[in-house]
A and B are shown apart, each in its own frame.
Chain A
Amino acid sequence: MKILEDRLLIGRFKTGDTEALRRIYEKYKNSLLKLAIVLVNDANRAEDVVHDVFLSFAKSIERIQPRGNLKNYLATSVVNRIRSIRRDAARHNTEQIRDIDCRLCDLPRPEQWAILSEELTLLSSAMRELPEEQREAVALRIEGNMSFKKIAEIQNVPANTAKGRFRYGIDKLRSTLNGKV
């Protein structure tokens, strides 16, 4: 019903209404967690990413205009945060790259807060087999509900390239999962 709800929530949060931030968090936390999980293939890392994204959003609310698409904004922030972590890791320690891309633990650790279904674990592992660009295109299209034009903007490629990455990614996922989800 609330086609304008996000703009209203941003406007309210800008005025210091913390309840508005809570509502934004509640509204998008699960979809962002899923997006981050399929991108980093690790529930703990995904939570860290979502944590950073929301915290950064809360701190930079003054600069955010209420007229954009909030879900797209947050999803793009997740992608950017993951890229930034990868860049930092690449600079400091090549081992950490593997750590970021590590396979999902078979058993959730006690501190692992996100509750994962078996299917999501399988999907996350299958996503790991995709090249990073295809993984992003698939995740942003399916989890972020983004247009190819928007994905192309984020990836800085023509829209047809983004479309191609998505198609190849889906084909590969289908063959990897082979009816497992």
Chain B
Amino acid sequence: MNPAENIKNQIKNLRTQASAEFDEKMYRKFQQALGKEKAYTAFQNPNTLRLIMHSRITKLATAAVIAIAAVLGITFLGPPGTAAYALEQTIEAGQGVRYLHFYFSSLDSNTTFKEAWLEYDDNGQIKNTRVNWYNQPSGDMVAVWKEGRTQYWNKKEKTLRFFEDEIYTKKCVAFAKRYDPTRTVENMYYLERKGDVKIEIEEPAEKSKPIILTCTWLPNTFITEGTSPQMREIVFVDPVTKLVTSIEVYKLEEGEYEACGVWEYPDYDTLFEPGIFDLEEEAPADVKRLDLMTLDIGLERTDLTKEEIAVKAVRSFLEALIAKDYDRAIKIYGYEDPDDKEGLLKRFEKLNIVRIISIDEPIVPRLDARGELEVPCKVELEEDGQIIEWQIDGVFAQRVIGHPNRWCVKGKFEK
């Protein structure tokens, strides 16, 4: 080692330690700065924060694992280096959890942050879910799904939407199954047997370090509907409780794994605050309530395929614009707030479309789970007395929320 490296290492290895008094002072200042009583409680008593192993359910679950292991003859307390961990232990440890609270932080260009709460009934079926989105470009949002009915609160827009949608319900249940870490591991366990997922288990020799599962998903297996590239999830498992503590998500882009986000699971079976699944009560009075079930919008799908109805919806919409039948165009385009109709009318009146040149085969957007289809189309437009061609960007057709047999059109339609 050269002398410069030597001095650097010596300096680096020097340690200092903030005293308890300094910590106390900082905690007091944080409390004052944040103006919250609960802040001080959290700072003052870090050791009283709930630890997973202190949970009664977890203890029972862990005991159950040990009991099952005893029956099956699995040796957990084998000599160092023995590969003791198996996915079944995490699946067992998570059985009986009624309340689950977790976070997701995405790392794409629009960094978002999600927080979710799941409640199961006595039979282990999803009862209620709530997801909060923070730092969204379109503002903070909250979605609650409670016994089949969805409440959707857009805080920036000051709107609260209500709807019942079978497909949305399936997605909420799928969301819970997908991101409840126990169910995630269970799902991976079965998918691995099918060959859709490859799992590698790394159990560090040092027992205090987490067990790491590296799960690689084949393309188009990661989400329930739509397409996806090859994905990778790194699952961190507490070596004592065998419960999942966090999951890092990566996608394969041009041969390299790019970080998409991380899920963190700090709370297993902590009771939720009452009213957490009731946005009607929680949203302030000035938030506009919109019941989507009362709207008459979109075009009936009848017996058409998704692709056929997507093309039909776009064609009918463009034909209505050409005929200057704006009521029909607005109905096919769809809206969620009747007060938006006037703005749509102004927007569509500016478009002087005279002829449809082509409508191509619909395309499934990449990494999209909403089930919408992109419909490329080209039209002729009259502008300043001239006829010009316009390839319209970003025209989509999708189901109308709350009315699964109707389809509407989405897109900016701005030149």
Interface residues of A (CB under 8 A from B): 1-5, 7-8, 11-12, 14-15, 18-19, 21-22, 25-26, 29-30, 33-34, 37-38, 47, 50-51, 54-55, 58-59, 65-67, 113-117, 119-120, 123, 138, 142-143, 167, 170-171, 173-174, 177, 181
When distances are taken between beta carbons in the complex, the residues of chain B under 8 Å from A142 are: 8, 11-12
The CA of A104 and the CA of B14, in the complex, are separated in Å by 16
When distances are taken between beta carbons in the complex, the residues of chain A under 8 Å from B42 are: 18-19, 22
When distances are taken between beta carbons in the complex, the residues of chain A under 8 Å from B16 are: 30, 33-34, 37, 114-117, 120
Which of these, A115, A119, A123, contacts B17 with CB under 8 Å? A115
Q: In the complex, how many residue pairs between chain A and chain B have their CB atoms under 8 Å apart? A: 140
- Shortest distance in angstroms between A4's beta carbon and chain B's nearest beta carbon? 4
The CA of A120 and the CA of B30, in the complex, are separated in Å by 28
Are the C-beta atoms of B43 and A18 separated by less than 8 Å? yes
Which of these, B23, B30, B38, contacts A21 with CB under 8 Å? B30
- Does B78 sit within 8 A of A, measured CB to CB? no
The CA of A113 and the CA of B19, in the complex, are separated in Å by 5
When distances are taken between beta carbons in the complex, the residues of chain B under 8 Å from A66 are: 105, 111, 113, 135
Are the C-beta atoms of A170 and B7 separated by less than 8 Å? yes
Q: List 8 A-B contacts (CB under 8 A).
A: A3-B248, A5-B262, A11-B113, A15-B113, A19-B42, A47-B18, A113-B25, A120-B14
- Shortest distance in angstroms between A172's beta carbon and chain B's nearest beta carbon? 10
- Does B49 sit within 8 A of A, measured CB to CB? yes
Are the C-beta atoms of A114 and B22 separated by less than 8 Å? yes
Are the C-beta atoms of B36 and A18 separated by less than 8 Å? yes
Main secondary structure of the interface of B (DSSP, over half): mixed
Are the C-beta atoms of A30 and B107 separated by less than 8 Å? no
The CA of A54 and the CA of B22, in the complex, are separated in Å by 12
Are the C-beta atoms of B135 and A11 separated by less than 8 Å? yes
Are the C-beta atoms of B15 and A11 separated by less than 8 Å? no
The CA of A92 and the CA of B170, in the complex, are separated in Å by 68
When distances are taken between beta carbons in the complex, the residues of chain B under 8 Å from A29 are: 18, 22-23, 26
Are the C-beta atoms of A11 and B134 separated by less than 8 Å? yes
Nearest A residue (CB) for B113: A11
When distances are taken between beta carbons in the complex, the residues of chain B under 8 Å from A2 are: 246
The CA of A14 and the CA of B26, in the complex, are separated in Å by 19
Given contacts A113-B21, A181-B14, contact A8 B7 (CB under 8 A): no
The CA of A116 and the CA of B264, in the complex, are separated in Å by 36
When distances are taken between beta carbons in the complex, the residues of chain B under 8 Å from A54 are: 26, 29-30
The CA of A50 and the CA of B17, in the complex, are separated in Å by 13
When distances are taken between beta carbons in the complex, the residues of chain A under 8 Å from B25 are: 51, 113
- Does B302 sit within 8 A of A, measured CB to CB? no
When distances are taken between beta carbons in the complex, the residues of chain B under 8 Å from A177 are: 7
When distances are taken between beta carbons in the complex, the residues of chain B under 8 Å from A21 are: 30, 34, 39, 43
- Does B10 sit within 8 A of A, measured CB to CB? yes
Nearest A residue (CB) for B11: A142
